[in-house]
Structures are given as structure tokens and as C-alpha cells.
Structure 1
């Protein structure tokens, strides 16, 4: 599969994930997914709570609902760090160079992306609900549409596959943009088109128009619009039926050259994928091998069959169904 040298995504990352002992309890969180991912990315570590002057270890913080919004407070001291956290988040994030994705610590009052507890008071044991931490909220505002997950959700195979695919695709687009020419974008689009069609056909047709010969705007303007549409392509995971259709399309291109045993094995695995009991990665990898073996030129170089390094597919497969 000839898709060129792999790029290293620039990933904003909670520093307590495999990097440094800066959690509130003085620990560094060891996570199997992050341990495998780190050698393949350029991490941009951040600990928002240390950045606003809180030491490590530190007494726990929580989000407390106020009439003017959610505040981040430290119940043991009564300190409200909301103004400092908002100010730091705004300054830090707006000062970042281009990033390709974000992985933040789950449930954190600063970094949780959706599961942080929100309390009615600083001493209350009941919760009003769950939402994003203060730093994570600013991430979503400054970088709308960017691939964003927490380390716990990345334990689910389908979510992980989608995140890694979006992450490395954005990194490859950044690489193409650095060439500042339409031919680089056209080549990028051609190699990713099957991936995009599987994810979102309507958005893909919009991308088609941006790389059409009649597009006369500057490369910078076209890349800007292309990037915006690409965020829409990855806004949701591909439908299970779309994945199965793409796998079937590739299979038909080589099926007459396969042995009966290979055909039988494909059909068995395809049924498991179609039922959502097995992730797409294994069958996708097998098809890539066959496309290479039989030199199927129109599909062989499509990024769909190798959207990110193979080493990242060999991760713990919890919640591995397509609909996990």
C-alpha cells in the first residue's frame, strides 16, 4: 500500500496521561492506548490546573453551578479559580500553532469533555448533571470540529478507529497545505476520496467541487474551505452499512482471484462486521493485503485501507463492535 511517509499528528494532550505526575493526587495516569499512541504523535502537553497556580498534589476541584454559569472551586479552601482558568485557557489555546487533534483527561473539572460532574454547591454530594470542564469548553470554542476525545472513550475500538482516522487525515492535510499548491490538495483528495465517501457522501461531493479544475481562487482560500468541509466529514462515525458497502466494493475487485477458503473467510468476517460484533480494522487490513497482492491500481493507494499506522490497530479491543 503506497500512501507515502506517515506524518506525525500534533496532539494537544492532558499532561497527566502517560507524560508527567501532575494529577491532583500526585500521580501520572498510565493508559494502554496512550502508551501506544505517544510514539506516533508530537504531543503538546498541558496541565491547566498547574498552569493557574495550583500545586501537585492538590485538593480536589469541582464544577459548581452558579446563576452566571459554572465555576471551578476547591471545596477544602473555598478558592474559586474560574477567572484564572478562563483567562489561561483563552490565552494558551489562541497562542497554539496548528494542531490536528486533542486528547483530554476524562471527568476532570478542567479537561473532561462531556462527563465532568456539575454540583449545585461546593459541599453538595448530589450532582445536577455532567458536562465539559472549563478548559475543554474553550478547546471546543477555539477549535470547532477538531478531533477531540478523552482517554476512556479511546478504549472503545470503533471510537478509537474513527478518532485515529480523523487525526492522521488532518495531519496529512496539514502536510499537503505546507506545499501551498492545488496539485498537493488534488492528490490528497484523490487518495482519501473512498474514505470520505464512506463517511459522508454529501460532504465528499462538496470537497470534489473544491478541487475541480474550474476552482479559480487562491490555494490558501481553497485549503481553508476544504478544511472546514473536512471537519463535517468526520463529525460522526461512518454508518455501519456504509462501511460494509465499501468493504464489499473492494472485495469484488479481487474475489475472482481468491481461493475458496479466502472467499469463505471474508464472508464470515464480513457478517461479523455487519452485525456490529467485530471492528472493521481486521477486514480492512486483509483487503489491503489482497489489493497489494493483485495490484488493483484504482483501490490500492486509497487511504481508506490504511488510515493510520498498523501498529495502532493492535490495541486492546474493548467495546469493539462497530456501534460501540
Structure 2
């Protein structure tokens, strides 16, 4: 039997409390049913708790961000004498360098160490500033790994954000596999060809920009250096969530490959479902399922390789609710 295109499982770093480990300040956890029931089958977890890693006990005094939201200190809620920002940031940089085989990271939201956004930063009067901050550890980690897909567990409950994050994780894993196989001018062009329509759905402008970047590639260009530029722009572009309009545009492009193979009734049915999807009547999986059906009956080798048609394991059902 052929191996799944999604094997081996991508490794994801994750805030340890989300996996059920009792590492929180109160010796509890924040086990995530979404991560443990929906995602765990498809990923290998790397649980991390920066607060425990820098030597804070369990249970322990809660910590919080204090001062300038851009550069907060991290202190205990009762004892503000010790600033833990330095150790947390240092550990973030250390892990960013060591975890070179992960393809994404799921952080605990609102945490003074792990929150990616909307973390309260307290002022001298005891009230939080209007401007929120980022967890000290997460900020340092992400600054070191700007292309790595990252998301907060709370935001993953939004179906659109969840699908976007998981698609980026598998694109990252695909690129890592390509790097292991070696980069060449041909390899870059073939990789981009696979991601053409996924990129078109997420960011039409970047789709054109990256096409020009590779289209002007010369024999003097170093594939490693060009590949680094290409992948950085690709991952930034995929952070934008696709809309019904851009998905519909891609579906129209893909259906165009079947124009000489389908009869009038089949064409009309496919067009009707694409229109219904764009109007919000049916989810994306409905026109996609019919399109895949026709492609099985009328194979198109160029489309068979498209990441857009299979950006993540179908069993995850991520496109059933968008």
C-alpha cells in the first residue's frame, strides 16, 4: 500500500498545559479537546512549558506582564521584585534554535509567557494598559522563527483560522521535505507549481509576485538563497485566509481544465455548486467533492499534484465548515 502523502506526521510544538500536563501555576492544566481529539491523530506533539523550564515550581505564584506593552517586564502577581522576562526570552530563543524539525506551534492564549496577542500588560495603578502585549517566551520564539506557522489554541476553534493554520503546517512540512531532497532551479519551479492554486486562493497578489520571482530566475541565481526568499514570501502570503471569492475563483480555474471532458449537464451542475458556495449556501467541500469526482474520471496530471485539492488529510474534515 502506498504511504500517505502526509507521512511522516509533522511535529508540532504545543504549550504543555494544552496536552493535559499539570504544569500551570495552580498545578492544573488546560487540556484542549480540539488538540487531543481532532488533531492528535495527525501530529506528533512536542509539549513545552517555558515557566517550568526556567525553574518555576508547580504550584507557583502567577506571573504577569508589567510596564511598557512593547517591552514589558515579567513579575509575580504578589512579588514584583524579580523580572523573569530575560530567562523566558532566552528560553524562547534557545527552543527556536533547537526545535529545527517542528512544522508549527500551538500556544496557550492570553498567557504572559505563551500568548501571541491580547495579553494584559499591567500598569502602576494595577490596571491593564489599553495596548495589549505578547507573552515574553512566545515573542522571542516567533522573532527567531518568523516563517513557522503559529497559532493560539483559542483561535483554532474558528473553522477558517483552523483550516488556514493546518494548511500552512503541511506546506511547511512539504518545504522541509524538499529541502532535505535538495534545492535546484527545477525543484523550486516544481514546488511552486504544486502550490500555484493554494497561493491563488490565499493571496492573489503574492501568487503573481512569486510567479515573477521564479520566472526571472537565471542560471546565476543560487537556488538556496532564492529558495529562502521564495519560502519566506510564500509562508507570509499563506497567513491570509482565503475568502469565498478567492476560493470561487480557483474553483473556476480548475473547472476550466474539464471544459472539453464534461457534458452540458455536468458543467451546469459544477457551476451551480460553485455559485452556491460563493453565496454561502453550501460549504467548500461540496463543489470540491464534485470536482475531484470529475478529475478521477478525467485525470489531469497537472491538477493531480495541486496542494489546493489536498492541503491536509481529508479525514480532518477542515473544509466541511468553511
Paired residue for 2:145? 143
After TM superposition, the structure 1 = structure 2 runs for residues 168-187 of structure 1, keeping only pairs within 5 Å, are: 168-182=170-184, 183-187=186-190
Paired residue for 2:227? 223
- 252-261 vs 30-39, which deviates more? 252-261
Alignment partner of 1:306 out of 300, 307, 310:
310
Q: Is the 8 A contact 1:194 1:302 kept in 2?
A: yes
Instruction: String of CA shifts for 1:31-78, please: whole Å, max 9, x gaps.
Output: 233122223223332101111111223232211125993121111333
- 232-241 vs 43-52, which deviates more? 232-241
Q: Is 1:108 matched up with 2:108?
A: no
Q: Is the 8 A contact 1:3 1:301 kept in 2?
A: no
TM-score (norm 1): 0.84
Q: 1:156 to 1:277 in 2, by over 3 A?
A: farther
Instruction: String of CA shifts for 1:261-295, please: whole Å, max 9, x gaps.
Output: 9955862x534532457653443344223322322
Distance, in Å, in 2 between the alignment partners of 1:127 and 1:5 is 47
- 299-308 vs 30-39, which deviates more? 30-39
Residue 170 (structure 1) shift: 1.2
Q: Is the 8 A contact 2:69 2:132 kept in 1?
A: no
Q: Is the 8 A contact 1:3 1:302 kept in 2?
A: no
Paired residue for 1:163? 165
Distance, in Å, in 2 between the alignment partners of 1:220 and 1:124 is 50
TM-score (norm 2): 0.84
Paired residue for 2:301? 297
Q: Is the 8 A contact 2:69 2:129 kept in 1?
A: no
- 239-248 vs 283-292, which deviates more? 283-292
Paired residue for 1:234? 238
Paired residue for 2:6? 6
Residue 218 (structure 1) shift: 3.1
Distance, in Å, in 2 between the alignment partners of 1:299 and 1:105 is 38
Q: Equivalent residue of 1:100, what SS?
A: strand
Q: Is the 8 A contact 1:285 1:306 kept in 2?
A: no
Distance, in Å, in 1 between the alignment partners of 2:234 and 2:309 is 18
Paired residue for 1:191? 194
Residue 229 (structure 1) shift: 1.9
* Higher RCO (C-alpha 8 Å, min separation 6): 1
Q: 1:90 to 1:297 in 2, by over 3 A?
A: closer
Distance, in Å, in 2 between the alignment partners of 1:198 and 1:32 is 29
Q: List gaps (5 residues or longer) in structure 1.
A: none
Q: 1:263 to 1:220 in 2, by over 3 A?
A: same
Residue 24 (structure 1) shift: 2.3
Q: Is the 8 A contact 2:69 2:121 kept in 1?
A: no
Q: List gaps (5 residues or longer) in structure 2.
A: none
Matched pairs, number: 315
Instruction: String of CA shifts for 1:97-131, please: whole Å, max 9, x gaps.
Output: 2532221001111111112122114x825554422
Q: Equivalent residue of 1:97, what SS?
A: coil
Indicate the RMSD between aligned Cα atoms, in angstroms.
Answer: 3.1
Q: 1:68 to 1:13 in 2, by over 3 A?
A: closer
Distance, in Å, in 1 between the alignment partners of 2:312 and 2:29 is 27
Paired residue for 2:277? 273
Distance, in Å, in 1 between the alignment partners of 2:114 and 2:255 is 42
Residue 187 (structure 1) shift: 2.4
Paired residue for 2:262? 257
Residue 4 (structure 1) shift: 6.8
Q: Is the 8 A contact 1:63 1:73 kept in 2?
A: yes
Q: Is 1:153 matched up with 2:158?
A: no
